[in-house]
Amino acid sequence: MRTLKTLLIAFVLTAVAPLTAQSADEIIDNYFENTGGSEAWSKLQGMKMIASANAQGMDIPLEMYQMKDGKQLLKINIQGQDMTQYAFDGETMWTTNFMTMQAEKSDAEATENMKKQSQDFPSPFHNYKEKGFTVELIGKETKEGTETFKLKLTQKPIMVDGKEEPNVSFHYFDTENFVPIVTEVEVREGPMKGQMSTSTFSDYQEVGGLYFPFAISMQGQAIAIKEILLNPEVDQAMFSFPETTVPAAVEKN
């Protein structure tokens, strides 16, 4: 009798597991269907976002590029001066040193993590199985006063201080519209190490048949999207680390 009961429990657990996975996939499928269709997302080659971030009462203009081949760039404007906060050309990641205003290459660890992050375009959930990611439906939870599905996304491990660590994040999808409204990820370094970083997304608007959030908050910092351009024409050179020109030596008579 005990053996029969054990077999029944095992059968139930086996039957429930694929249903849970299927439910997670249904949520993701509904998300892409409701925001333009998976096929349309697949055809997206890149995008440019023009936005502003509110920092200590100041509005800082932002210009961000994300390309399907992994290239990325974030440019900010402070007191009328443009500077590249970070850029990645597919192999090299670099930033601007705000003290010297000179371009500096990022270390090997940050660059390697950026290479992995470049797989997120246009969304880490798009073709996630082909990318080697896993998704698990945790259950339902109320976020921002809205009932949501909580999904656990596990991506390829990242390097932190020379050690490989799990790359796990939690995404909360509105149960009515199937769009993500909150994302949580553990901070890996800095003064907030070990704490959860929370981002919120709202005001979804249509751009070229696809839907994007136009209001974003990252750790309480509000970012207002003003315009999104799909498949923009870009100067590929802007992603590359700027080579400095050494002045030729002055010839002495």
Number of other CB atoms surrounding residue 42 within 10 Å: 12
Please report, for the chain, the start and end positions of each structural domain, with discontinuous segments joined by +.
Answer: 2-239
pLDDT in tens, 30-61: 999 999 999 999 999 999 999 999 887 789 99
Using the CB atoms, write b or e for 51-78: b if 16+ within 10 Å. Answer: bbbeeeeeebebebbbbeebbbbbbbee
CATH number, span 2-239? 2.50.20.10
Which residues face 185 on adjacent strands?
Answer: 169, 197
Looking at residue 61, what is its pLDDT? Answer: 96
Q: Indicate if the pLDDT at residue 200 is higher than 50.
A: yes
pLDDT tier for residue 252 given thresholds of 50, 70 and 90: very low
Q: What is the pLDDT of residues 143-191, one digit of tens each?
A: 999 999 999 999 999 999 899 999 999 999 999 999 999 999 988 777 7
pLDDT in tens, 82-117: 999 999 999 999 999 988 989 999 999 999 999 999
Output the pLDDT for position 23.
87
Task: Give which of 131, 181, 109, 127 is closest to 151, Cα–Cα.
Answer: 181
pTM value is 0.84
